[in-house]
Chain A
Amino acid sequence: MKIEKGTLLEMYKRMNEARVFEEKVSYFFARGMVHGTTHLSIGEEASGVAASMALNEEDLIAATHRGHSQVIGKGIDLNRMMAELLGKVTGYCKGKGGSMHIADVDAGNLGANGVVGGGHGIAVGAALTQQIKKSGRVVLCFFGDGAANEGSFHEALNLASVWKLPVIFYCENNLYGMSTPISKHMNIEDIAKRSSSYGIPGYIVDGNDAIAVYQRVKEGAEYVRKGKGPILIESKTYRWVGHSKSDANVYRTKEEIEEWKKKCPIKRLKKYLLEKKVLREDEIEAIEKKVIYDIEASVEFANNSENPPIESLLEDVYG
């Protein structure tokens, strides 16, 4: 499958956006400039961005608590996203959601989810809507390796397979659920194997290879769009940073983290783009500069935005 230059350029840009955005967020949290918590996907940018980008614009995603890359891949206004993290009224959720709940339902982002496994059922329902309305849209359901142990995972895959719903279950296996290594939370290494219990195709993809992720999800989307039922894709990846804003990494070694840093998905895509002469060094540099500029601009936008008015506290509970 050939990927167009424009798409590759955009992919590289969005992966950089995710990285720089999260580095900024991490900086804010470390200095106590935002409250609450956040889950960074640094090291997992290819897995999130390229998967979302493989969809058509009108397709839908259900994101996770570690969702910044996933939603940036779908295409998002960085200003409104940064504003949400800073709790501002101009944010995607008017400051009521924060990092764990970035959502833009009209644009097909059904929301990041604070509940592990919370997106499975929602994705199934969203796919049911597409089937009944014959919209031709598909749903990409993100979840982690840890989430594959929630009952909701099994119930969702079963129902979606019986009803042949247009949904891609996309597991970002970063080898840990919080501090718990996969070897301690399931008796298999490859989550893709679980597809066989539901009689649906299961695939493994190198989640640090943006090109492979894009192609796998694109092919998968074509398959489910044809009404053949759901599929399960397992993307093998790794988070470089702690589980949430604070984490002493007691459950893994520095060496392991360093090994994975060598497999940086952004550097890997850059190398590919240069080697295949898709982009020149100066074009790459221009993208990187633009991203830094855009993220700074998003911070400025957020800082210049208002806090939600106190009256808004009681709004939007009911419609």
Chain B
Amino acid sequence: MGRGGKRMKEMTYAEAIREAMSEEMRRDEDVIFIGQDIGLYGGAFGVSVGMFEEFGEERVRDTPISEAVIAGAATGAAVTGLRPIAEIMFMDFTTIAMDAIVNQAAKIRYMFGGKARVPMVLRCPAGSGTGAAAQHSQSLEAWFCHVPGLKVVAPSTPADAKGLLKAAIRDDNPVIFVEQKLLYKKKCRIPDDEDLIIPLGKADIKREGGDVTIVTYGRMVEKVLNVAQEVAKEGINVEVVDPRTLVPLDKETIINSVIKTGRVIVINEAVKTGGYAGEIAAIITESEAFDYLDAPVLRLAGKDVPIPYNPELEKAVIPSEGDIKEAIYRVMNR
């Protein structure tokens, strides 16, 4: 039993995503799932193992290697009454599907005067750390945040992945669901609950603390929590705010946390220039939290380079626990 007497069970991030899709497909026959090698093969990362067997090839459909039509067909199906989930094998390949996502799916509702809806989810495994080099490792979420009409979700835990994906599938807008390849095998205990729905646009305070706020999402959350635990021994109490949804963004929770702590670091794995951390930092400085700041807002992000192959270089691209600790000392003036 977990908090509130709820039954808990242990599952991985990948299993949580599978369970969210499967539950929604059982609940609503309009939900279908398309993508490359998602059927019998179970997906490039094994996320959909068993779904083909349960739902059959009518609703779990392998596609050719044709990202443009995967996203295009998802859009067309969504407009006409289905609720497609489409997997783009690596987030890097959304590049090939950009017209459908950016000019079509994102625009249709508004451009048609609100007279159409596009309930679709594009699942995109993202991030570096797998040794797959420059074309298979990117974190491109900021691009999609820049397009009104798209929602962007980036879960950091199995429980969030499940609850947010269920909400995304039920949402009537196109949702870019950013999954972390390196988290797929990560296990945690999650509520055993078919109605585990986490509304889009609600941040989660992953750790409470009064000295410094760190706003971060995706794979960086775990690193930040590790560092928070370490610096707690030195008397620095970090509050970790995970927005979970980048668009819509729970500005209120972020701003309130900064008002409480007076210090903030925003961290993302993606490259720094044009990254979403910059957007969050700007929102904070424009808000009433500005008057409470005891130190400049700090950003920590990936270096402005493509992801290199060599493992040592690859590691050096994204913020390390050491970098995070240093940033904390910096805003704490230590």
Contact = CB atoms under 8 A, between A and B. Distances in A.
A208 B161 CA distance: 46
A146 B40 CA distance: 17
Given A186-B64, A250-B41, A36 B308 contact: no
Contacts of A180: 36-37, 41, 62, 64
B226 interface: no
Given A115-B92, A251-B41, A308 B65 contact: no
B8 interface: no
A149 B309 contact: no
Interface in A30-53: 34-37
Contacts of B44: 178
Interface of chain B: mostly helix, strand, loop or mixed: loop
A313 B303 contact: yes
Interface stretch (B25-33, B210-218, B230-238, B312-320): B312-320
A37 B131 contact: yes
B134 interface: yes
Given A179-B40, A185-B65, A115 B133 contact: no
Interface in B34-82: 36-37, 39-41, 44, 62-69
Contacts of B130: 35-37
A96 B64 contact: no
A96 B311 contact: no
A314 B303 CA distance: 8
Interface in A58-109: 84, 87-88, 93, 95-98, 100-101
Interface string A9-43: 00000000000000000000000001111000000
A151 B304 CA distance: 30
A151 B96 contact: yes
A310 interface: yes
A114 interface: yes
Interface in B171-196: none
B256 interface: no
B142 interface: no
A1 interface: no
B305 A37 contact: no
B206 interface: no
A149 B40 contact: no
A101 B65 contact: no
Interface residues of B, number: 36
A241 interface: no
A87 B310 contact: yes
B136 interface: yes
Given A114-B134, A150-B66, A186-B64, A97 B309 contact: yes
Given A117-B65, A150-B96, A186-B64, A36 B313 contact: no
A254 interface: no
Nearest to B66: A149
Contacts of A308: 308, 310, 312-313
Contact of B132 (A34, A88, A114, A184): A114
A119 to B, nearest CB: 12
B229 interface: no
Contacts of A217: none
Interface string A302-319: 000001101011100100
A264 interface: no
Contact of A149 (B65, B134, B308, B310): B65
Interface in B283-305: 303-305
Contacts of B40: 179, 250-251
Given A178-B41, A313-B303, A36 B64 contact: no
Interface string B131-165: 11111100000000000000000000000000000
A161 to B, nearest CB: 21
A130 to B, nearest CB: 26
B312 to A, nearest CB: 6
A179 B308 contact: no
A279 interface: no
Contacts of B63: 185
Which of B39, B65, B132 is the most central at the interface, judged by chain A CB atoms within 10 Å of its CB? B65
A93 B312 CA distance: 15
A78 B174 CA distance: 48
Interface string A271-303: 000000000000000000000000000000000
A204 interface: no
B35 to A, nearest CB: 11
Contacts of A150: 65-68, 96
Closest 9 CB pairs of A and B: A36-B131, A35-B131, A98-B309, A114-B135, A179-B41, A149-B64, A87-B310, A95-B310, A185-B64
Interface of A: 34-37, 84, 87-88, 93, 95-98, 100-101, 113-118, 146-147, 149-152, 177-180, 184-186, 250-251, 307-308, 310, 312-314, 317
Interface of B: 36-37, 39-41, 44, 62-69, 92-93, 96, 130-136, 303-306, 308-313, 316-317
15 contacts: A36-B130, A88-B310, A95-B308, A98-B132, A98-B133, A100-B135, A114-B135, A117-B96, A118-B135, A146-B64, A150-B67, A151-B66, A178-B36, A178-B41, A308-B310
